[in-house]
Chain A
Amino acid sequence: MTQKEQKSSGASPQESVLAIINSKAPFSSSHGKDALDVALIFASFEQKVSLFFQGDGVYQLMDKQDGSLLGMKDYLKTFSAFEFYDIEDIYVCQQSLVNRQLGEDFHIDNVQVLSSIEFGLALNRHQHVLRF
């Protein structure tokens, strides 16, 4: 695995292995949690993974939410472990925030707000994309 990773990163240093697009609101389905599990596994195998938030997915980043009020496990708390897992590339679609009249009050740091064009360009730097 390590050898392979070195080989591929040597061939194209600009390209990350996987982009995960989060497009669903956090608490009505398990998509967000399922995407998080995939992200953490890739990171623990030392594969470079980036997270993209778009559409209702942007709600997963908003501050002052508490899933435990709904009696569920609040997986959003785990987002604070991204730094530990070396997940550094976190992008949110500005237009999706504007459409929902949301500000940039995120519950984690290092979130990059990108215009639609920048968002697309950032996605394009990844070899593979999964959408949840």
Chain B
Amino acid sequence: MKTLAVVITTPPYSHLTITALTYVEAALVAGINVIGVFFYQDGVMHANEDISIASDEYQAIEHWQRLQKQYQLPLHICITAAEKRGIACDAIDNDKINKAFTVSGLGELVELTTKASRLVQF
């Protein structure tokens, strides 16, 4: 079975994110097995619970949450990249991280890459 993994290196306020989300959703709707999305570099900011984007603009984070819920799509953030950007991952009651996201490391990217038939970066 064809599998797809996606790497997001763009922040939630980037227009590239819209393309990424449209792409991922189209793949899911087409029945492609999207094995996970890995957020690296500025991409980890999608998991920042404190980000607030003007209500008349594209709500990237809400769309990730929706896809995660609807399709059980795994969303992994790189812990090193996240902590560098003020998203503390080791706190016990962590309210900085959006619950839709899983804290992972670059090892997860290796895992996804070796499993996926195709890897696409945005």
Which residues from chain A sit less than 8 Å from chain B, CB to CB? 1, 4-5, 8, 17-18, 30-31, 34, 37-38, 41-42, 45, 47, 127-132
Contacts and interface: CB of A to CB of B under 8 A. Distances in A.
A42 B41 contact: no
Interface string B101-122: 0000111011101111011010
A5 B111 CA distance: 11
Contacts, number: 45
Given A130-B7, A130-B121, A131-B121, A38 B114 contact: no
B33 interface: no
B80 A17 contact: no
B38 to A, nearest CB: 10
Interface residues of B, number: 19
B109 A128 contact: no
B40 interface: yes
A7 to B, nearest CB: 10
Given A5-B114, A38-B109, A45-B110, 20 more contacts: A1-B110, A8-B114, A17-B114, A18-B113, A34-B81, A37-B106, A38-B40, A38-B106, A42-B110, A42-B113, A45-B107, A47-B110, A128-B113, A128-B116, A128-B119, A129-B119, A130-B7, A131-B121, A132-B9, A132-B41
